[in-house]
Structure 1
Amino acid sequence: MARTSLIFLLLSLLYIACQARSPTAASSPASNFIKASCSATQYPALCVQSLAAYAPSIQQSPRQLAQTALSVSLDRAKSTQAFVSKMKSFTGLKKREYDAIKDCIEEMTESVDRLSKSVKELKNMGQAKGQDLLWHVRNVETWVSAALTDENTCVDGFAGRSMDGKVKDSIRARVINVAQVTSIALSLVNQFASKQ
């Protein structure tokens, strides 16, 4: 009995020691930078959750943080676009649901296109400074704002009680998540721009 307790105690201590050394348990400067930057967004918890895994590549770079946030938003938009496209082929859709899905696919396609342009623009601006840098950043801000509008327009297409049901709930949940992540990306791009 005493031997079992001793083994259990040693294993517990070993586990605690490993947890203390793990990068997720430790509060690194990069993690603190992400948390501080995310605190100024509309969805701070989602921001940290979405970006924490990228802390090693973000470090404490506002530009890399904005770039990563845009990439995360683009990935989610692409995934949601594919999901909504699959919903179009469901049998038993009401005409209004089908039309809303069709419109949503168009909006999500526009959103993906604009977020793709934003990712490329920020990545390819190189060492631009001054007015050149601001021109690139303004392009990104314009496209991300438009992508956010596209996402919100998709959600608006499912308004009204006649649209209530699983189709509406599943699409709205995904698109709202994309819109929140896009809002985070826009906020972080604005933060990056304000530091230039």
Structure 2
Amino acid sequence: MLAKNMNITLLAFLPLLFPVIAIPNINTINKKAYTIINSTCASTLYPDLCISSLTSPSPPPNITTTMDVVMASLNHTISTIQFNKITINKIAKNNSLTVREKTALQDCNKTADESLYELKKVKINLHNYTSKNHSANDLLTLLSAAMTNQETCIDGFSHDEASRIIRSGFLAKQFHAYKLCSNILAMVKNMTDSSKGDEIGDETESNNAGHDEWPKWLSAGNRKLLQQSTMVIPKAAIRE
């Protein structure tokens, strides 16, 4: 009986010895992530794709800032292009392909490698980004190149003779990657513009003072795409 009473007494004091650790409500975390994802993706040309690529089946729990959204989008796009390379290699083994199609697939493989290099370089630059050691234009140059690479691959199959295998099993995936690159380009452009005169945009503002809003290296097609996306995200959303 004495031992039983001692056990009961010990149980009564356990909460004092081991305080209950508050666990964040997962719904609260997801709600904040959804809010930031929606506000960041609003600046893109393909907001539905931007949102769905980050929220299916659920948003990553570590998304709390606009920069987190950009990084998550980069990771998703890199994975998508890596998967597309696997598809390219599979299709290239088809004996029914013409010489022209095989050459175009080889070009796509090369441009995919270039895009992966450029997107990974953007990730590194963003991780180490300050207005003193990187220009916003450097980021946009890399992203514009990655986007153009996807467009170049698609153009390689614009001829009428392109086989059904290419059109149905491959081009849609390439255009999907193109849209993802476009979204990241718009988000980074928006983010750096929103921070002009502040930490991330100081160098961009000084470099562009007295010049046209769009850098000379940006192609006319990509410039037109970005001109259609002019919503600016408040600084508060970037720094939350």
Q: TM-score, normalised by structure 1?
A: 0.78
Q: State the Cα deviation string for residues 103-128 of structure 1 (Å, max 9, x = none).
A: 11111111111111111211233xx2
The residue that corresponds to 1:62 in the other structure is: 66
**Shift, 1:57, TM fit:** 1.2
Q: What CA RMSD, in Å, does the superposition of the two structures yield over aligned residues?
A: 2.1
Distance (Å, rounded) in 1 between the aligned partners of 2:91 and 2:144: 26
Distance (Å, rounded) in 2 between the aligned partners of 1:106 and 1:157: 12
Q: State the Cα deviation string for residues 30-61 of structure 1 (Å, max 9, x = none).
A: 212211221221111111101123352112x1
The residue that corresponds to 2:110 in the other structure is: 106
Counterpart of 2:123 (choices 105, 119, 138) is 119
AA aligned to 2:76 is V
**Shift, 1:23, TM fit:** 3.8
Q: Kindly report which structure 2 residues correspond to 1:3-18, keeping only aligned pairs within 5 A, or say none.
A: none
The residue that corresponds to 1:154 in the other structure is: 153
Contact 2:143 2:181 in 1 (8 A): yes
AA aligned to 2:81 is A
Q: Structure 2 vs 1, CA of residues 42 and 71 (structure 1 numbering), >3 Å: closer, same or farther?
A: same
Largest Rg, 1 or 2 = 2
Distance (Å, rounded) in 2 between the aligned partners of 1:62 and 1:107: 28
1:85 maps onto 2:89 in alignment: yes
Q: State the Cα deviation string for residues 7-39 of structure 1 (Å, max 9, x = none).
A: xxxxxxxxxxxxxx9749x97122122112212
**Shift, 1:169, TM fit:** 2.4
Distance (Å, rounded) in 1 between the aligned partners of 2:143 and 2:128: 16
Aligned residues: 169
Q: Gapped runs of 5+ residues in structure 2?
A: 1-24, 196-240
The residue that corresponds to 2:36 in the other structure is: 33
1:172 maps onto 2:175 in alignment: no
**Shift, 1:131, TM fit:** 4.2
Please identify, of 172-181 and 46-55, the stretch whose mean Cα deviation from structure 2 is larger.
Answer: 46-55
Distance (Å, rounded) in 2 between the aligned partners of 1:131 and 1:121: 12
Contact 1:66 1:192 in 2 (8 A): no
Q: Which has the higher helix share?
A: 1
Q: 4+ residue stretches of structure 1 with deviation over 3 A? A: 21-24, 130-133
Please identify, of 149-158 and 50-59, the stretch whose mean Cα deviation from structure 2 is larger.
Answer: 50-59
Counterpart of 2:80 (choices 76, 79, 82) is 76
